[in-house]
Structure 1
């Protein structure tokens, strides 16, 4: 399924929780599922308009933001709830992850280990920050999940993120060790005196 179509289901799921504006949806997505799903404003607003024309969402009210801008607050319709339930029951469409770090490492021999080491170090720092944020979210969800079935589902997605980040950090350590060894070997070859006959 195309990403644009999947966007509408992310919107429907969020609107099942409560009515929201496009701005509110973007923030809710970022705060809850942002560790594995992202949506841009440029995609959210046109998708909301198409969904309104299709009868999946309806305008509930308009409100003014502190800056004076009018925000449209949408709610999910009965048709939207049916569409979301049908989508949730369909098999997941497999996809291949596009990972620029791995692509750069794959071709890293063209520039040497120093550049690759820098890429891995940046990725490790980012992963550590995400892991810290996800651990905080995990604590909040676990504290409020007592008897709340929805929180159990949320917790499963958070755990996948936590375990994935922990595995990524272990891989970063392995990559650094391998690349440092490669850099050391390269330096040793440069310094080795040539045999003079």
Structure 2
């Protein structure tokens, strides 16, 4: 399934929570599922227009704002809820992850262990920051919405992110050690 067609289900899921504008959708996605799913404005707005044509979403009648602009706020329709439920029941399609770090390491012999080590260290630092942020999100979600029936489902995705980042940090440590050994053996050979 293409990213564009999956975008519609991310949008439908968010609109099942509450009516939102395109900007509101983007913000809600960033705040909730952003650690494992992202959508650009370039995907959101055309998807909203197509889904409105297909009657999966509809515009909420709104009053003009103080600036005189009418903000387009969408809500999911019954047909949209049915389409989302049908998609949620389908098997997940396998995908190949596109990981630039692993691609660079695969070809790392072209630049050497020191340059590859820089890439690993950068990735490790980013993962540490993301892990800290995800721990805060996890704690905030669990504390602020204890009675929310969606919490158990949302927590599963947060836990996957936490466990994945912890595994990535362990791998970074292994990669660092291996690359440091390569750096040491390269320096020994060049000193001879």
Is TM (by shorter chain) over 0.5?
yes
CA distance in 1, matches of 2:103, 2:144: 40
Q: How many residues align?
A: 192
TM-score in terms of structure 2 length:
0.95
1:93-117 Cα offsets, whole Å, 9 max, x none, are: 1100000000000010011011111
SS in 2 for 1:75: strand
Matches within 5 A, 1:101-112: 101-112=101-112
What's the RMSD between the two structures over aligned residues?
1.5
1:134-156 Cα offsets, whole Å, 9 max, x none, are: 00010012223534320000000
Partner of 1:169: 169
SS in 2 for 1:58: strand
Instruction: Describe the shift of the 1:69–1:187 C-alpha distance in structure 2 as closer, same or farther (beyond 3 A).
Output: farther
CA distance in 2, matches of 1:112, 1:20: 49
CA distance in 1, matches of 2:35, 2:66: 29
Q: Whose Rg is larger?
A: 1
CA distance in 1, matches of 2:156, 2:106: 32
Note the residue ranges of structure 2 that are not aligned, 5 or more in a row: none
Is this contact kept in 2: 1:58–1:75, CA < 8 A?
Answer: yes
CA distance in 2, matches of 1:124, 1:62: 46
